[in-house]
Amino acid sequence: MSLMNNLSTSMISSSSSPFLAPISFNSRTQSVTVPPKSISLVKCVSTPQEQQTAYKTKVSRNANIAKLQAGYLFPEVARRRAAHLLKYPNAQVISLGIGDTTEPIPDVITSAMAKRSHGLSTLEGYSGYGAEQGEKALRAALASTFYGNLGIEEDDIFVSDGAKCDISRLQVVFGSNVTMAVQDPSYPAYVDSSVIMGQTGQFQKDVEKYANIEYMRCTPENGFFPDLSTVARTDIIFFCSPNNPTGAAATRDQLTRLVKFAKDNGSIIVYDSAYALYISDDKPRSIFEIPGAKEVAIETASFSKYAGFTGVRLGWTVVPKQLLFSDGFPVAKDFNRIVCTCFNGASNISQAGGLACLSPEGFEAMQEVIGFYKENTKIIVETFNSLGFKVYGGQNAPYVWVHFPGRNSWDVFSEILEKTHIVTTPGSGFGPGGEGFVRVSAFGHRENVLEACRRFKQLYN
């Protein structure tokens, strides 16, 4: 009997495989005579496990990737969340862990993206590859909006698919023969990308650190700003303000000291300002507010946490012309070479959204979204304060850094998840300086944040 005659459209559909389009079959029944077959016994013999070895190539694994410990922090948090849901399938899990935005993108922004998208169906509106560095109009708008009086020009700005992606591209620019320093605790992408590039030694389990990385300890006692007098000289300094995960924003005096430290040591600062618009006091929003920073600093930023672009993907990096390698060659030219080699430019639809974000109406709408998350942060801070915890961050960032002295942060993460069905992020995932802390994200629907706070009170009252 023909196999095709036994198939029906209910068995194969376009949804059953991404490679199959809808297929119509003639479902009329046919009378088919099948001659009888004699039945014989077939003996099944299992193959010993040791004989089922998979084929292996002769290509060695990248030894630097093999240095990485366990999984990247946030996929590991997601994995544990999924395991919890398997254990408690009816649980109403609230995620305040991974810093993913939850509120809708303002209509003024999505309308611009929709218009650009529909325009691609017309001869007049269609465009293919764009400039790898980003569209001129968006670069000009970024320069005027964020760096208007700071001497940053539009051709110093490289538009990208996000700050995290640019961090890795910058690492490619620096290569494997540089040394690096990082705040401890800090966003794990800095350390992991450094490990992958081969800039580090092996992971040292006794101190929970990689060899050849300078961990700049940031604690409540030093105001989450490192004592630079104890920090060894490195080529690259990764610095995030407002900081993820602690929520601390550096003061003008602190950043002035950081720039002087970099200049005295001939170092380059990679300044992550992804949360700058959350700053509500007079702290600097850009490293380039500090005199001399253009000679020692790169700044990377993103629309992800401003406009809900975590899935849309749009960011930018500023590499000033004044920033030079030791031989006098401009860093920007090498970054441009990497961008042109490894990247075809941000989506033109995303860039239309970015341009709308920077219009007067779009910027106001973006600020309203940020204000919503800041209100969430205030609710979370007040909850943990009422329970007697020492709480940090929250004022200038969408993260609350809660201290659980003497406790393992993964144990606290598990306790909260098991007893309240709330996902947080263990502090040790951000470096050894995060041990004993848990990060609580303010990204969430208001009703979920209120319910989570009710559960926190029930657990810790």
Q: Measured between alpha carbons, how far is 329 from 345 in angstroms, rounded to an integer?
A: 24
Task: Determine, yes or no, domain membership for 25.
Answer: no
Task: Determine, yes or no, domain membership for 429.
Answer: yes
Domain boundary, last residue among 330, 359, 388 = 359
* 72 and 141 together in one domain: no
* Residue range(s) defining the domain that contains residue 168: 107-359
Bigger pLDDT: 313 or 49? 313
* 299 and 159 together in one domain: yes
Q: Measured between alpha carbons, how far is 102 from 320 in angstroms, rounded to an integer?
A: 34
Closest alpha carbon to 297 in 240, 248, 341? 240
Contacts of 56 (CB under 8 A, 6+ apart): none
Q: Find out whether 134 and 348 touch, Cβ atoms under 8 Å.
A: no
Q: Please spell the DSSP secondary structure of 265-329, one letter per residue.
A: HT-EEEEE-TTGGG--SSS-SSGGGSTTGGGTEEEEEESHHHHSTTTT--EEEE--TT-B-TTS-
* 349 and 377 together in one domain: no
Closest alpha carbon to 324 in 406, 266, 379, 382? 266
Contacts of 164 (CB under 8 A, 6+ apart): 189, 302
Domain boundary, last residue among 359, 387, 411 = 359
Task: Determine, yes or no, domain membership for 217.
Answer: yes
Q: Measured between alpha carbons, how far is 350 from 356 in angstroms, rounded to an integer?
A: 10
Angle between helices 107-119 and 360-386 (to 10 degrees): 130
1: burial class by Cβ within 10 Å (0-12, 13-18, 19+)? exposed
Residues 257-269: tens digit of each pLDDT: 999 999 999 999 9
In one-letter notation, the amino acid at residue 353 is G
**Residues forming beta bridges with residue 402, ordered by sequence position:** 391, 438
Angle between helices 360-386 and 446-460 (to 10 degrees): 10
* 274 and 129 together in one domain: yes
Task: Determine, yes or no, domain membership for 52.
Answer: no
Q: Please spell the DSSP secondary structure of 143-209, one letter per residue.
A: HHHHHTTTT--GGGEEEES-HHHHHHHHHHHH-SS--EEEEES--HHHHHHHHHHT-S--EETTTTE
Confidence of residue 69 (pLDDT cuts 50, 70, 90): confident
What percentage of the chain reaches a pLDDT higher than 70? Answer: 89
* 261 and 281 together in one domain: yes
* Mean pLDDT, residues 372-377 taken together: 98
Helix (H) or strand (E) holding 239, with range, is strand 236-240
* Mean pLDDT, residues 387-407 taken together: 97
* 171 and 74 together in one domain: no
Sort residue 218 into left (φ over 0), alpha (ψ -120 to 50) or beta. Answer: beta
3-state secondary structure of 98: coil
CATH code at 75? 3.90.1150.10
* 372 and 276 together in one domain: no
Angle between helices 331-342 and 163-174 (to 10 degrees): 120
- Dihedral angle sign, alpha carbons of residues 29, 32, 38, 42: negative
Task: Determine, yes or no, domain membership for 368.
Answer: yes
**Res 34: pLDDT:** 42
pTM (2 decimals)? 0.87
* Mean pLDDT, all residues of the chain: 91
**Res 319: pLDDT:** 98
Task: Determine, yes or no, domain membership for 28.
Answer: no
Q: Please spell the DSSP secondary structure of 33-47, one letter per residue.
A: -------------PP
Residues 115-129: tens digit of each pLDDT: 999 999 999 999 999
Burial 133-170 (b: 16+ CB within 10 A, else e): bbbeebbbbbbeebbeebebebebbbbbbbbbbbbebb
Residues 162-188: tens digit of each pLDDT: 999 999 999 999 999 999 999 999 999
3-state secondary structure of 105: coil
* Mean pLDDT, residues 415-431 taken together: 97
What percentage of the chain reaches a pLDDT higher than 90? Answer: 86
Number of folded domains in the chain?
2
Is residue 288 scored above 50 in pLDDT? yes
Closest alpha carbon to 197 in 216, 209, 213, 208? 213
Task: Determine, yes or no, domain membership for 308.
Answer: yes
Confidence of residue 48 (pLDDT cuts 50, 70, 90): low
Task: Determine, yes or no, domain membership for 18.
Answer: no
* Mean pLDDT, residues 437-455 taken together: 98
* 333 and 421 together in one domain: no
Domain boundary, last residue among 336, 359, 382 = 359
